C-alpha cells in the first residue's frame, strides 16, 4: 500500500518521498526499490544531526520495533558509525506501552514522564551523549530543556531535511 502510494506520488511529479513516521520506516527499503526518486529516510536525517554534533554514543527511544530492528538502529550504526544504545527489554516494553496506550491517545501522565526521565538519566550516567526521540509522541513527554545531553527530535529533523531537499 505504501509502495503503491509512493509510485503514485512519483507519477504525479514528486521529486522525493518522505514517510512521516519512524516505525513505518521498517518498509523503507521495499518502498525505495519500487520508485526511482529519492526516499528521504528519517534515520539518515537523525544520523546526520548526531554526526554534525560529533557525538558517537546515543540512546534510542521509540516503539519496540524502532528500538529493536535493524532498519533504524542498524542504519545509524552502519551509515554514521554511531553506537546506538537501547533500554533493557523491560524498559523497552514499558516505553512501547506508554506510546501506544497513552501518548497516541493523547494521555499525558506525569508518572510516564518520570519513567522516561529515569531511563534517560540511567543511560546518561553510563556515558550516552545524546537521546534520539525515535517516535513522534515521545516529544509530548520529553524535550531538550529536560535533558543534560543533546536531544534529537526525529520528526523535526526529518521535516528540516525534507525542506532542505525541496529547496536545493
Catalytic residues: 21, 135
Q: Distances from the Cα of 44 to the Cαs of 1, 48, 61, 106, 157, in angstroms?
A: 23, 6, 16, 28, 10
- Across-strand partners of 131? 59, 151
Output phi, psi for 20, to 5 deg. -85, 60
Contact (Cβ atoms closer than 8 angstroms) between residue 142 and residue 164? no
- Across-strand partners of 152? 132
Amino acid at each position: 500500500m505504501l509502495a503503491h502510494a509512493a509510485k503514485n506520488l512519483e507519477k504525479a511529479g514528486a521529486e522525493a518521498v518522505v514517510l512521516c513516521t519512524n516505525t513505518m520506516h521498517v518498509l523503507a527499503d521495499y518502498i525505495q526499490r519500487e520508485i526511482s526518486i529519492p526516499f528521504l529516510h528519517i534515520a539518515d536525517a537523525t544520523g546526520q544531526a548526531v554526526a554534525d554534533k560529533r557525538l558517537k554514543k546515543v540512546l534510542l527511544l521509540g516503539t519496540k520495533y524502532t528500538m529493536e530492528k535493524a532498519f533504524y538502529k542498524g542504519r545509524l550504526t552502519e551509515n554514521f558509525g554511531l553506537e546506538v544504545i537501547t533500554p533493557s527489554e523491560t524498559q523497552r516494553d514499558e516505553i512501547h506501552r506508554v506510546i501506544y496506550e497513552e501518548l497516541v491517545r493523547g494521555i499525558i501522565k506525569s508518572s510516564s514522564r518520570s519513567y522516561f526521565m529515569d531511563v534517560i538519566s540511567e543511560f546518561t550516567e553510563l556515558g550516552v551523549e545524546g537521546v534520539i526521540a525515535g517516535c513522534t509522541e515521545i516529544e509530548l513527554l520529553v524535550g531538550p530543556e529536560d535533558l543534560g545531553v543533546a536531544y534529537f527530535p526525529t520528526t523535526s529533523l526529518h521535516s528540516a531535511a525534507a525542506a532542505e531537499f525541496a529547496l536545493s
